């Protein structure tokens, strides 16, 4: 591809996947609006259509529930190509949505959109839109602080593997064991009719996903009851780091808008996270890991999410040095960083979804964090590897860290968006 070709191809993907105000991750496999996908997609649109970038996030927030909850899928239009669809979730909301959330990247993206508008002298044109978005983002983060951090420990407790956005990470295997799958019943998956099942979660994993959906539904999607009774309650290192980062960005937006009380409230969440997040440090593996809140047990897995501590703005010499050592060790084992699972782990599989493949969006967060924390060499390695994967193979859902083969859906929106957001100056 010539240097301009990927840029044009990436734009074409976002345009083709645009369904009018929102973008589907991939027309066949994921035909609805996904929460954190849209947050990244907005960054891609911002490179060539600022107006459309803001709309992506505004549309997502139109699906927010009254208690501040922001769903992981919005089913704006029905589509038989996906399971489990609206009737399985049974949330009874308008628009029809799922009943779990996803990593809160949106506030970070909105800050980026705002800064990019200001940098080109368009800040005043977008101020009213920022003012309208801010209370909604604040309400969502407040929902996190109560319903997903109900013990006020500064963590995000995921109630479903899908909530983490890293669906079949091995971190959820042991915490998933107590989930009773005996009453799940028969169902027909759609993902494995679009894609090779070797790239997808297993039947047991899917049974657990559905059992958790059925449990949530049985509570009438009562988030307080789910917090108290859900059979799966894991403090996810990815979401915890992402929320800490997003709160820093939300606080910056509050200051920008002169909202002192709100800035103070957000600061309180940041302080709480800075005090509590150390619980996710695993001394045995010397890394940041997810931890089961029901048993207190660390997953012990080094995943790509472990490297988000830099993005979260955490710094401490001993832990940073340990994470850098993990980075260098893993970088020496693969052609393309950062595999979603440590390749030294016996469960590593180079094409199975979140058990090995490289995901552009996670790399973008890792690279951004490393650059911000003064580590340009590792930041460049992550960025260069990510861009090279796209140059060689196009815009896949994920890629093999060993040989770069694309896996999952092709023409994938958030991958194309990361190209646009990151390839500047390429
Ligand atoms: C998969 C991914 C999730 C993503 C969704 C849509 O479920 O694991 O992170 O949001 O697809 O792309």
Q: Is the CB of 167 under 6 A from ligand 1?
A: yes
pLDDT band at 193 (very low <50, low <70, confident <90, very high): confident
pTM over 0.95: yes
pLDDT band at 199 (very low <50, low <70, confident <90, very high): confident
Please tell me the predicted confidence (pLDDT) of residue 425: 47
Whether 279 has a pLDDT exceeding 90, the answer reads yes
Report the DSSP beta bridge partners of residue 33. Answer: 74
Are 83 and 191 in contact, with CB atoms under 8 Å apart?
yes
Please identify every residue annotated as catalytic. 167, 397
Q: How many whole angstroms from its chain centre is CA 229?
A: 25
What atom of ligand 1 comes closest to residue 166's alpha carbon?
A: 8
The residue behind tokens 């191809």 is: 9
The string of pLDDT tens digits covering residues 151-164 is 999 999 999 999 99
Report the DSSP beta bridge partners of residue 358. Answer: 399
Whether 52 has a pLDDT exceeding 70, the answer reads yes
Please tell me the predicted confidence (pLDDT) of residue 127: 98
SS (H, E, C) 273-316: HHHHHHHHEECCCCEECCEECCCCCECCCCEHHHHHHCCCCCCC
Q: How far apart are CA 364 and CA 242, in angstroms?
A: 12
Percent of all residues in the chain with a pLDDT value above 90, rounded to a whole number? 94
- Residue 84: asked if its preceding bond is cis (omega within 30°), the reply is yes
Are 188 and 83 in contact, with CB atoms under 8 Å apart?
yes
pLDDT band at 424 (very low <50, low <70, confident <90, very high): confident
Q: How far apart are CA 29 and CA 82, in angstroms?
A: 7
pLDDT band at 196 (very low <50, low <70, confident <90, very high): confident
**What residue spans of 157-309 are helical by DSSP H?**
161-164, 173-176, 191-194, 203-218, 223-229, 237-256, 260-276
Residue having the nearest C-alpha atom to atom 2 of ligand 1:
165
Please tell me the predicted confidence (pLDDT) of residue 272: 98
The string of pLDDT tens digits covering residues 214-259 is 999 999 999 999 999 999 999 999 999 999 999 999 999 999 999 9
Please tell me the predicted confidence (pLDDT) of residue 2: 57
Percent of all residues in the chain with a pLDDT value above 70, rounded to a whole number? 99
Q: Three-class SS of residue 224?
A: helix
Distance of CA 85 from the midpoint of ligand 1 (Å): 15
Please tell me the predicted confidence (pLDDT) of residue 241: 99
Q: What are phi and psi of 10, to 5 degrees?
A: -65, -45
Neighbours of 360 (CB within 10 A): 26
pLDDT band at 372 (very low <50, low <70, confident <90, very high): very high
Please tell me the predicted confidence (pLDDT) of residue 426: 41
Please tell me the predicted confidence (pLDDT) of residue 180: 97
Distance of CA 169 from the midpoint of ligand 1 (Å): 12
Distance of CA 369 from the midpoint of ligand 1 (Å): 22
Mean pLDDT computed over every residue of the chain: 96
Please tell me the predicted confidence (pLDDT) of residue 273: 98
């Amino acid at each position: 591809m010539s240097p301009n070709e990927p840029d044009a191809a990436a734009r074409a993907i976002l345009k083709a996947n645009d369904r009018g105000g929102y973008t589907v991750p991939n027309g066949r496999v994921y035909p609805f609006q996904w929460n954190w996908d849209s947050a990244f997609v907005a960054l891609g649109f911002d490179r060539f259509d600022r107006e459309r970038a803001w709309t992506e996030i505004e549309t997502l927030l139109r699906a927010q529930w009254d208690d501040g909850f922001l769903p992981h899928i919005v089913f704006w239009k029905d589509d038989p190509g996906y399971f489990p669809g609206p009737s399985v979730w049974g949330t009874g909301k308008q628009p029809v949505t799922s009943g779990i959330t996803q990593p809160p990247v949106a506030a970070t993206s909105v800050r980026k959109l705002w800064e990019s508008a200001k940098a080109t002298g368009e800040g005043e044109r977008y101020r009213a839109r920022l003012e309208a978005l801010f209370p909604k983002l604040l309400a969502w983060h407040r929902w996190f602080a109560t319903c997903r951090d109900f013990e006020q420990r500064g963590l995000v407790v995921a109630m479903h593997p899908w909530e983490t956005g890293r669906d079949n990470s091995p971190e959820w295997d042991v915490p998933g064991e107590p989930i009773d799958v005996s009453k799940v019943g028969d169902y027909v998956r759609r993902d494995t009719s679009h894609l090779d099942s070797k790239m997808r979660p297993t039947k047991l994993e899917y049974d657990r996903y559905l059992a958790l959906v059925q449990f949530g539904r049985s509570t009438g999607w009562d988030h307080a009851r789910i917090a108290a009774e859900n059979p799966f309650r894991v403090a996810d290192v990815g979401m915890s780091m992402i929320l800490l980062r997003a709160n820093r960005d939300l606080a910056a937006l509050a200051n920008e808008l002169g909202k002192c009380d709100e800035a103070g409230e957000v600061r309180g969440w940041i302080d709480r996270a800075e005090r509590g997040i150390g619980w996710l440090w695993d001394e045995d593996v010397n890394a940041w890991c997810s931890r089961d809140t029901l048993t207190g047990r660390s997953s012990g897995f080094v995943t790509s999410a472990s490297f988000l501590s830099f993005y979260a703005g955490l710094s401490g010499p001993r832990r940073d040095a340990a994470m850098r050592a993990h980075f260098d060790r893993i970088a020496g084992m693969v052609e393309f960083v950062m595999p979603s699972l440590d390749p030294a782990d016996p469960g590593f599989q180079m094409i199975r979804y979140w058990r090995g493949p490289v995901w552009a969006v996670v790399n973008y967060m890792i690279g951004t964090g490393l650059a911000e924390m003064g580590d340009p060499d590792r930041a460049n390695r992550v960025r260069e590897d990510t861009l090279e994967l796209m140059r060689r193979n196009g815009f896949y859902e994920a890629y093999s860290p060993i040989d770069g083969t694309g896996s999952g859906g092709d023409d994938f929106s958030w991958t194309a968006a990361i190209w646009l957001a990151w390839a500047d100056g390429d």
